[in-house]
Amino acid sequence: MRTGRKKKRPKIIGLPDFWDVLSRHENKLLALDYDGTLAPFCVQRMQAYPYPGIPGALERIHRRADTVLAIISGRPLAEVLILAGPFNGILIGSHGMEKQLSSGDIVIKTVDQTQRQGLACAQSAAEEIGLQHHIELKPASVALHTRGISPKEAARLEDLTVRIWHDISSRHGLEIRRFNGGVEVRATGWNKGDALEELRREMPPGSACVYIGDDDTDEDVFFRLRSRGYGIRVGEAGRHTAARGLLPGIPAVREFLETWADLTLPVLEEGISWIRDG
Ligand SMILES: [Mg+2]
């Protein structure tokens, strides 16, 4: 049996007994947001690679047979596949609309025709006011990105965009959500909380369920986990959140992952290994 390193476990603000409780669970689900959680924000969005040390820690967690590992991002799956590099867990993009299983199979949910028309209208409306270089059309949303723009101008553009998207969203089954670095109009009916719930339902009864994220769209997950798991928000203290725990930044997330990777595995029958091959 593999033993954990004698290393001090990082504190999770708000969850003082987290590691002791987690260690008692035979089965665990660990899901993570990508931007702002595993990778620092970057003006060039396709340069937002994982923080040093995080890919190695994720790989070691993936090899543990007691943990199902997933990334749930608002980015399109294709972007997460490029940025996350060799990641062997479950990859979920577009707030849950696209999923790549560990087997490599990809499952895609589709938006309905009204929503598709609404997204096209939202894209056109933003382009008509000169925002074409800040707009990204995703499978189930249109995002306005303002990272790299002065805070005052970013706020002006976001408010303006929210106003022009307001009627479009209400007529087409869409909703407007702000995120760290912009604002997005997206199809209702599916969010990160639903994506997490789908993963949770596939776990054995009594499994520990943990989600880490930094953004407002992660609140959908934190809310679902209030009574049935552990939502941990990344960032400064004092923000309103449904998360039960707090990690102060990405370096703390890396420390968290390294600790999880090194947890002593539950004792099984002699001769059975908890570590996956490869
Ligand atoms: Mg994020």
The CATH number linked to 253 is 3.40.50.1000
Ligand 1 midpoint to CA 181 (Å): 10
Q: What is the largest CA-CA distance in the chain?
A: 67
- Residue 187: beta bridge partners? 174
Ligand 1 midpoint to CA 36 (Å): 5
Domain end, chosen from 131, 162, 187, is at: 187
Say whether both 74 and 91 belong to one domain: yes
Say whether both 217 and 177 belong to one domain: no
Are the C-beta atoms of residues 212 and 193 closer than 8 Å to each other? no
Whether the predicted pLDDT of 20 surpasses 60: yes
Q: What is the C-alpha separation between 154 and 54, in angstroms, rounded?
A: 30
> For 102-142, what is each residue's pLDDT tens digit?
888 999 988 999 999 999 999 999 999 999 999 999 888 99
* For residues 5-27, average pLDDT: 88
210 secondary structure, DSSP code? E
228 assigned to some structural domain: yes
278 assigned to some structural domain: no
Domain end, chosen from 169, 187, 205, is at: 187
pLDDT at 211: 98
276 assigned to some structural domain: no
Domain count, the chain: 2
Higher-scoring residue by pLDDT: 9, 220? 220
pLDDT at 267: 54
Say whether both 174 and 240 belong to one domain: no
Domain range for 178:
113-187
Say whether both 22 and 96 belong to one domain: yes
57 secondary structure, DSSP code? H
| Confidence band, pLDDT 50/70/90 cuts, at residue 238 | confident
- Residue 194 tokens read as 């639903």
180 assigned to some structural domain: yes
Ligand 1 midpoint to CA 192 (Å): 11
> For 31-50, what is each residue's pLDDT tens digit?
999 999 999 998 888 999 99
pLDDT at 243: 96
173 assigned to some structural domain: yes
| Confidence band, pLDDT 50/70/90 cuts, at residue 266 | low
Ligand 1 midpoint to CA 62 (Å): 21
Say whether both 99 and 154 belong to one domain: no
Say whether both 130 and 203 belong to one domain: no
Say whether both 204 and 223 belong to one domain: yes
- Residue 70: beta bridge partners? 31, 90
Say whether both 63 and 103 belong to one domain: yes
Ligand 1 midpoint to CA 214 (Å): 5
Say whether both 224 and 102 belong to one domain: yes
Q: What is the C-alpha separation between 261 and 3, in angstroms, rounded?
A: 11
212 assigned to some structural domain: yes
Q: What is the C-alpha separation between 198 and 213, in angstroms, rounded?
A: 17
267 assigned to some structural domain: no
Say whether both 46 and 119 belong to one domain: no
pTM recorded for the entire structure = 0.85
Domain end, chosen from 128, 160, 187, is at: 187
Ligand 1 midpoint to CA 42 (Å): 12
Say whether both 183 and 205 belong to one domain: no
Q: C-alpha angle 52/56/60, rounded to 5°?
A: 150
Say whether both 76 and 201 belong to one domain: yes
2 assigned to some structural domain: no
Ligand 1 midpoint to CA 123 (Å): 23
Q: What is the dihedral of CA 195, 199, 201, 205, to 10 degrees?
A: -140
Ligand 1 midpoint to CA 23 (Å): 27
Whether the predicted pLDDT of 91 surpasses 50: yes
